[in-house]
Amino acid sequence: MKIFLDTADIEEIRTAARWGVLDGVTTNPTLYAKVGGRYEDILTEICGITSGPVSAEVVAEDVEGMLREGRAFAKLAPNIVVKVPMSEEGLEAIFRFAEEGIKTNCTLIFTANQGLLAAKAGASLLSPFVGRLDDINQDGMEVIRELVTIIELHGIESEVLAASIRHPRHMTDAAMAGAHVATLPFKVLQQMVRHPLTDKGIVTFREDWTKARKAADEKNAAQASGDGRGAQQADEKVEAITNKPGV
């Protein structure tokens, strides 16, 4: 499964790229509002960090307006994908973009039927919003499951992109549901890295390493000076490290 970052924050994108886990980026007007500046400049900078798809969202509600905005985005970099909302006008724009060879990501999908229509119109990415459905007491992940099944059953080329991911469990469930992509906030990416037992294990290994080195030095010194008791005490210290519960 590909991992996209759902952000317009350049530093977050750079960090994920350094970790080797970044396959692309999705932005939207709300995420753009958080960072400010010129949207076009931000998109160009993001495209310089990742060669994966970078979604740029149109805000026009009429077909010609969407086409105008999308064509301008597409000129910024070859990896721009124009994000178009699900609507009658959106479908028409997606179809026209496809004819022009411009890739699209259909956003604000809340049912498998909407996803199916976006795929038919030619969207390369279909973005069901999982978290926002959960927010209204519906099973957001069910839409991912249904849409993945439809895509695979009918050999459709579009990819299902699980969006509105709010926590690490969403990521695991999206991966198990067969989502081709999931886009997530940087905070969720950080949460995926962490586990309290990992943190505890790192500290314990470091402490054991220090103690073992000290005991080895003490044993060498004791042996060099013929101090048999000292050498034995050093061995006992090593034993205490290796006989801890859980080792």
Please state the closest distance from residue 27 (CB atom) to ligand G3P, in A. Answer: 8
104 is a site residue for ligand G3P (CB under 6 A):
no
Q: Residue 242 is inside which H or E element, if any?
A: helix 228-242
Residue type, 215: A
163 is a site residue for ligand G3P (CB under 6 A):
yes
Active site residue 83: yes
- Scanning 45-53, 140-148, 161-169, 202-210 for contacts with ligand G3P by CB under 6 A, the matching segment is 161-169
Residue type, 243: N
158 is a site residue for ligand G3P (CB under 6 A):
no
Output the furthest CA–CA distance in the chain (Å, rounded): 90
50 is a site residue for ligand G3P (CB under 6 A):
no
Q: What residue has token string 């061995």?
A: 235
129 is a site residue for ligand G3P (CB under 6 A):
yes
- Scanning 42-50, 160-168, 174-182, 223-231 for contacts with ligand G3P by CB under 6 A, the matching segment is 160-168
Please state the closest distance from residue 28 (CB atom) to ligand G3P, in A. Answer: 5
7 is a site residue for ligand G3P (CB under 6 A):
no
Nearer to ligand G3P, 65 or 131 (CB): 131
E-state strands within the chain: 2-6, 24-26, 54-57, 80-85, 104-109, 125-128, 159-162, 181-184
Instruction: Catalytic residue, from 34, 75, 83, 237: name it.
Output: 83
- Scanning 65-73, 116-124, 162-170, 204-212 for contacts with ligand G3P by CB under 6 A, the matching segment is 162-170
Length of the chain, in residues:
247
Tokens, residue 83: 């994000």
CA nearest 82: which of 98, 90, 74, 116? 74
Exposed (0-12), middle (13-18) or buried (19+): which is 55, by Cβ within 10 Å?
A: buried
Which parts of this chain interact with ligand G3P (CB under 6 A)? 6, 26, 28, 129, 131-132, 163-164, 166, 183
Catalytic residues: 83
